[in-house]
């Protein structure tokens, strides 16, 4: 009995300890959060991976934000240590002075939307990899900020899969369309036959007979069915 009590006691204390740890963690996170408010933030968006086909042109997105404002914000795009493009934005709303060092890169950003995205033309398989969008705001004692965008270059083989899907979908659509057409035609034919029957004044009688027969046979079937079960 004593051992059991001890065990529950230690369980409670360990739970308390993990709760304390959680609270401490929350406090630290909160402090960090408060501390970093106003600091520059750089983001390559919610989805920072892109799969694109070789030969296509891709946008490498990046935006920054800062509550304390920017002054002579320096930014660049690098890939494996090579600078593709760099620039300095004097103050908010003023377009940056940009230097581009890559023949297939174009700066597409705008200070109006804190946008420092670049466009990469005619990608090849060598373009695959991590692109780092880097920025630092001298107002923040040159603290560095960066975000990574990953580009995956896929072969045109992947498009074959797409065409296959398209073929399957269109075949399925065709089959469904045919079934619908068939049903419509069937309904029309039945109606047409019925109308010709009506003209002969046999349709009404015969269909009435058919209905009662069906109803009777159905009722019979049910009545026959219940004793069996």
Ligand X SMILES: *[C@@H]1O[C@H](CO)[C@@H](O)[C@H](O)[C@H]1NC(C)=O
Residue nearest to ligand X (CB): 55
Report which DSSP code applies to 102. S
Please tell me the distance from the alpha carbon of residue 189 to that of residue 114, in angstroms, as a whole number. 66
Two tokens, residue 156: 């045109």
Decide if residue 25 touches ligand X (CB under 6 A): no
Among 9, 19, 55, 218, binds ligand X (CB under 6 A): 55
CB of 67 to ligand X, least distance (A): 18
**Rounded-to-integer distance, Cα 158 and Cα 163, Å:** 9
Taking alpha carbons only, the member of 64, 23, 59 closest to residue 42 is: 64
Q: Of 136-155, which residues contact ligand X (CB under 6 A)?
A: 144, 155
**Eight-state DSSP code of residue 110:** B
Q: In terms of CB distance, is 48 or 54 closer to ligand X? A: 54
Q: Alpha helix locations (H) across 85-202?
A: 157-199
Query: Taking contact as CB under 6 A, which single stretch among the options 34-42, 92-100, 113-121, 177-185 is the one that binds ligand X?
Result: 113-121
Give the interface with ligand X as residue ranges (CB under 6 A): 54-55, 59, 61, 63, 80-81, 104, 108-109, 113, 115, 117, 121-122, 129, 144, 155-156
């Amino acid at each position: 009995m004593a051992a059991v009590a001890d065990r529950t006691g230690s369980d409670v204390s360990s739970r308390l300890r993990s709760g304390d740890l959680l609270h401490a963690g929350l406090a630290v996170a909160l402090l960090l959060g408060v501390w970093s408010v106003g600091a520059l933030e750089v983001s390559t968006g919610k989805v920072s991976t892109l799969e694109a086909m070789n030969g296509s042109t891709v946008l490498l997105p990046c935006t920054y934000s800062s509550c304390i404002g920017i002054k002579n914000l320096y930014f660049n795009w690098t890939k494996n240590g090579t600078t593709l493009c760099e620039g300095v934005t004097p103050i908010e709303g003023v377009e940056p002075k940009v230097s581009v060092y890559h023949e297939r890169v174009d700066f597409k950003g705008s200070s109006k939307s804190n946008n420092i995205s670049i466009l990469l033309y005619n990608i090849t398989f060598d373009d695959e990899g991590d692109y780092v969008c880097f920025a630092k705001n001298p107002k923040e004692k040159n603290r560095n900020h960066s975000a990574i965008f990953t580009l995956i270059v896929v072969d045109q083989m992947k498009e074959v899969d797409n065409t296959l899907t398209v073929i399957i979908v269109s075949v399925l659509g065709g089959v469904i369309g045919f079934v619908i057409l068939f049903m419509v035609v069937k309904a029309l034919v039945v109606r047409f036959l019925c109308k010709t029957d009506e003209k002969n004044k046999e349709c009404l009688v015969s269909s009435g007979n058919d209905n009662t027969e069906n109803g009777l046979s159905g009722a019979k079937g049910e009545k026959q069915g219940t004793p069996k079960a």
